[in-house]
Structure 1
Amino acid sequence: MLPGEDRAARRVLLVCLAAGATTLLDQAVLNIAVPSMRQSLAAGAADVQWIVAGYSMAFGLALVPGGSLGDLYGRKRFFLIGVAAFLLAGVAAATGGGPGTVIVARLVQGAAAGLVNSQVIGTLQDVFHGHDRGRALGLYAVTAGVATALGPPLGGALVAGLGPELGWRCCLLLSAPCAILTLALAARWLPPPRRTARDPGLDVLGLALACGCTLTLMVPFIRTPGSGGVALLWAALMGALAVTLTMHQRLRVRRGRRPLLHPALRSSKPYLLGTAVAMAQFGASLASGLVLTVFLQEGLGLSALSTAAVSLPSALAMGVVSALAWRMVRRIGPHTVTLGLALGIGAALAGAAAALTVPSAVLPLVCAAVQLLAGAAAGLTVSPNQTQVLHHAPAEAAGVAGGILQMAQRIAAAVCLSAVSAVYLHSAPMPPGGSGPRFAYALASCVGAGLLSMALVLSLLRGATTGRPAMPADKPGQQSPAPQRHRTT
């Protein structure tokens, strides 16, 4: 390989990691500033709910359209558009004078983040192959862990140092310098736009129906309907949209036109099972983190900064282990995911046992140790499983495959957050335990999601013994496929 080609690939990877850090840091840093933001804007509970959850909802809705657009018309232009829109919307949110302005700006910013991240996954698919792809995705997971780790401490420090009025606004502006740098590097270093999909026809109706299905599924978890009749109406609307989408996709296939979901994705058992594993793991991880934050602050009376310190080992461990997980993949292959899921189940069980037995004075330290184990488990699971899933996606659907994976994870997160938080909030504590038993019940429900993931992985491994390997791996004496390189612009 030429030195210039290696340098070009490293620059592309750097741009992708910068984009991931920018969008993930923005989401992580705001959560701890929500109370001061609510006080400053005189925002109601529903306003705060839309400000926080609207970002994730719009992020998920933009992933599949963004992946399709990148596949059809090239990724670079939509990457640049997404980063620029993210930057402008962030400034609008930080300077907003009322809840309505901030809500709209955060929705636009979330959609822009989804557009950017769908191009990131597709670009990594285009440029890297084999174990190089696994390493690149591992570094992407490291970036997620670092951004998640830095968010709460930075947000808490800004609010504490600048006061409630200016602090939350600076939290929203924190990602602006990162976005400007990412935009400049992307314009210079990303590969020139090129199509990877053969069919130039974009399924606009299919995209609209898919967005409608996602919206009707996620909105009830963002804001619980006020009556059973409203809930039934949402369910009926979602069912009608899902049936219409299915019929529309079949009709497009009969007519020989490109459907929204590539046929190879629907027929690939490893892709489907791996996506289901990612959904269960991602949802359980976010839900357990949420109830831990509530338990530490409301149950044990810790401050926001102390709560961030307890959660910090998880993010750090995930980042470090993700960077090293590819070595484990080389040794034991897809069993790396099995090991990670087993450690995650063990961490949830340990946390539940600690909540029931450990005195409150030392419980935060025990929770920090448990978070260290949980972060290592996520590091062994997320990147290897993501590599496995995207390994079975065809090149012409790489962006859509990555978008569907991330969208599925965010839908699962909405369901798990709602269900697990309901377990914590509505479980009756056993005497004399206070909120400790409720926290243990919530973690026990996360164990259920972990066991489901384990069953799916075992099913995938059994299928791999008679078919295509479940995860790319080098055979002895065989080199990984050479990464596809592009000249810089």
Structure 2
Amino acid sequence: MRWKALTVALVAGFMTLLDVSIVNVALPSIRDQLDLSPAELQWVLSGYALTFGLLLVPAGRFGDARGRRNAFVVGLILFTLASAAAGLAQSALWLIVARLVQGAAAGIVNPQVSGLIQQMFEPKERGRPFGLLGTTIGVSTAVGPLLGGVLIAAIGPEEGWRWIFYLNVPIGIAAVWLGHRWIPAATEAKRRESLDPAGVGLLGLGVVLVLLPLVQERSWPGSGKWLLVVAGVAVLAAFWAWERHYGRTRTALVELGLFRVRSYALGSLIGLLYFAGFTTIFFIYTLYLQSGLGYSALAAGLAVTPFAVGSAVGSAVGGRFVQRFGRHMVAGGLAAVIVGLAATDLVLRAVPGSGGGWAAAFPLLVAGLGSGFVISPNQTLTLSEVPVARAGSAGAVLQTGQRIGTAMGIAAVGALFFNRLAAQQGDWGAAFRGALWLTIGFVVVALVAALADVLSGSRRERAADGGRDPVDVAGR
């Protein structure tokens, strides 16, 4: 029964994560049908990622305290209803609000998946289910553009984008029924401890204040908007202080002691930075292919497919060998992503016109393989030294960083993309190349963090070999 429960949990996770990227190829159709501005387009994407990230930690905490099955089912019901509302959208505001609710519901569902793995499997059994979860995260995001392109090609640009959202409805209904039937209920009474509402409010406010001026960069003239970033940093500092104070006597929203674990702290940073670059690839590339090179939604999805194929293969291989190679595998994967994306830029420069997207298939395959070596192995390694008692909250914080990284990346890269597009008088190629190199920059910084973990792990291993107390170096 536990494998049935895991299956329905992974299907729900796949569906909610698919909505991070499947909308990318539909953006031109949505823009034309609902007359969306560039800032509104970014909110359709980054708004989903933002509310997704904000709900992960409190929802994970709620599942721990009140039972995961009920949280899972309620989140799926909300996600299904929001998907139907998004498909029925008649205006930009309607669609953005529906996407915000969708993201919040996804944030309720996803931490229950990692929590259920902890609940249903013994520590020595968790390698395979966590590997499947990592593969689900990587492949769902990568395959989204192709699936979206197929739907738009089959149904048409006027209504096809709506079916991207309607698709979730029958899957969601089935997952609600099967989840309630297969996922085990709480087997013991849950303590009615505080869910740290002050911490939830401070974290949410701080992140919104930091991201809002990035998302609205082109819509809000003047430099005054950047004061919101300063205010956001101050609120996040207050959140950190509050969590330290609150955690002395009660269970805080975020266990700050986790960040004293080297592999966890660096792995969380790697996840945040990599997702800031990883998910923006599909945002800017599908826009460039469709609006700049005249590709159809299906052709744009097919052009991105090599990345998805590489990611699927890399995830399978990475999950198999992660314990042997540790963080070296993650560093190698990040290097492959950088090389593949840089080569994509070179190929697009060398092959102008509509042939460029097809010529870039091999570099994107290389980048996808590298991505597969990053996402699933990084998740496994980041949680490897975390005590089992903290594994649920640790997984939620890790996913929160990935979602906030997604929102930050889309906001920053999107702002640069549209600014360069305006400055270059509609030169989509120049706008794409500038944004692509910012994306690569995020991955480069993630590589620096991975190399720091590799070097630190090597020093600890040498110290252990020299007669000091042995340490767990699984995250090296």
TM-score range, shorter chain: 0.7 to 0.9
1:464 lines up with 2:457 in the alignment: yes
Partner of 2:220: 226
Structure 1 distance, partners of 2:28, 2:345, is 28
Partner of 1:365: 358
Of 102-111 and 78-87, more deviation after overlay is shown by 102-111
Give deviations 1:203-239, integer Å, cap 9, x for gaps: 1111111111121122222222614454244124313
Q: When the two structures are superposed, what TM-score results if normalisation uses the length of structure 1? A: 0.85
**In the superposition, relative to structure 1, how do residues 447 and 126 fare at CA in structure 2: closer, same or farther (>3 Å)?**
same
Q: Which residue among 173, 177, 183 is the counterpart of 1:180?
A: 173
Q: Displacement, 1:453? A: 2.1
Equivalent residues of 2:21, 2:145 under 8 A apart: yes
Question: How is 1:79-98 mapped onto 2 (pairs within 5 angstroms)?
Answer: 79-98=72-91
1:53 lines up with 2:46 in the alignment: yes
Structure 2 distance, partners of 1:202, 1:323, is 37
Q: Which residue among 3, 6, 9 is the counterpart of 1:10?
A: 3
**In the superposition, relative to structure 1, how do residues 332 and 197 fare at CA in structure 2: closer, same or farther (>3 Å)?**
farther
Q: SS at 1:58's partner residue?
A: helix
Specify the code of the residue in structure 2 equivalent to 1:295: Y
Specify the code of the residue in structure 1 equivalent to 2:258: L
Q: Displacement, 1:472? A: 7.2
Structure 2 distance, partners of 1:461, 1:286, is 25
Specify the code of the residue in structure 2 equivalent to 1:468: V
Specify the code of the residue in structure 2 equivalent to 1:156: G
Equivalent residues of 1:197, 1:396 under 8 A apart: no
Partner of 1:238: 232
Give deviations 1:148-207, integer Å, cap 9, x for gaps: 455334433433443444333222110111111211221122122257998923211111
Give deviations 1:41-76, integer Å, cap 9, x for gaps: 455555444333322221111111111111222211
Partner of 1:315: 308
Specify the code of the residue in structure 2 equivalent to 1:78: A
1:250 lines up with 2:244 in the alignment: yes
1:410 lines up with 2:403 in the alignment: yes
Specify the code of the residue in structure 1 equivalent to 2:15: T
**In the superposition, relative to structure 1, how do residues 380 and 66 fare at CA in structure 2: closer, same or farther (>3 Å)?**
same
1:376 lines up with 2:379 in the alignment: no
Partner of 1:419: 412
Specify the code of the residue in structure 2 equivalent to 1:60: G
Equivalent residues of 1:30, 1:171 under 8 A apart: yes
Partner of 1:292: 285
Question: How is 1:323-472 mapped onto 2 (pairs within 5 angstroms)?
Answer: 323-360=316-353, 362-426=355-419, 436=429, 439-465=432-458, 466=460, 468-471=471-474
**In the superposition, relative to structure 1, how do residues 38 and 297 fare at CA in structure 2: closer, same or farther (>3 Å)?**
closer
Q: SS at 1:226's partner residue?
A: coil
Equivalent residues of 2:209, 2:228 under 8 A apart: yes
Aligned length: 462
**In the superposition, relative to structure 1, how do residues 209 and 43 fare at CA in structure 2: closer, same or farther (>3 Å)?**
same
**In the superposition, relative to structure 1, how do residues 435 and 226 fare at CA in structure 2: closer, same or farther (>3 Å)?**
closer
Structure 2 distance, partners of 1:216, 1:203, is 20
Q: Displacement, 1:19? A: 0.9
Equivalent residues of 2:309, 2:368 under 8 A apart: yes
**In the superposition, relative to structure 1, how do residues 278 and 131 fare at CA in structure 2: closer, same or farther (>3 Å)?**
farther
Q: SS at 1:391's partner residue?
A: coil
Structure 2 distance, partners of 1:323, 1:406, is 20
Give deviations 1:123-162, integer Å, cap 9, x for gaps: 2233345564333232223334443455334433433443
Structure 2 distance, partners of 1:443, 1:107, is 26
Q: When the two structures are superposed, what TM-score results if normalisation uses the length of structure 2? A: 0.87
Structure 2 distance, partners of 1:74, 1:123, is 10
Give deviations 1:347-401, integer Å, cap 9, x for gaps: 1221232233345464222311111111111111110100111223333333322
**In the superposition, relative to structure 1, how do residues 226 and 177 fare at CA in structure 2: closer, same or farther (>3 Å)?**
same
Partner of 1:106: 99
**In the superposition, relative to structure 1, how do residues 267 and 472 fare at CA in structure 2: closer, same or farther (>3 Å)?**
closer
Structure 1 distance, partners of 2:179, 2:396, is 20
Of 357-366 and 193-202, more deviation after overlay is shown by 193-202
Specify the code of the residue in structure 2 equivalent to 1:125: Q
Partner of 2:118: 125
Q: Displacement, 1:81? A: 0.8
Structure 2 distance, partners of 1:165, 1:95, is 12
Partner of 2:14: 21
Q: SS at 2:373's partner residue?
A: helix
Q: Displacement, 1:309? A: 0.8
Of 294-303 and 54-63, more deviation after overlay is shown by 294-303
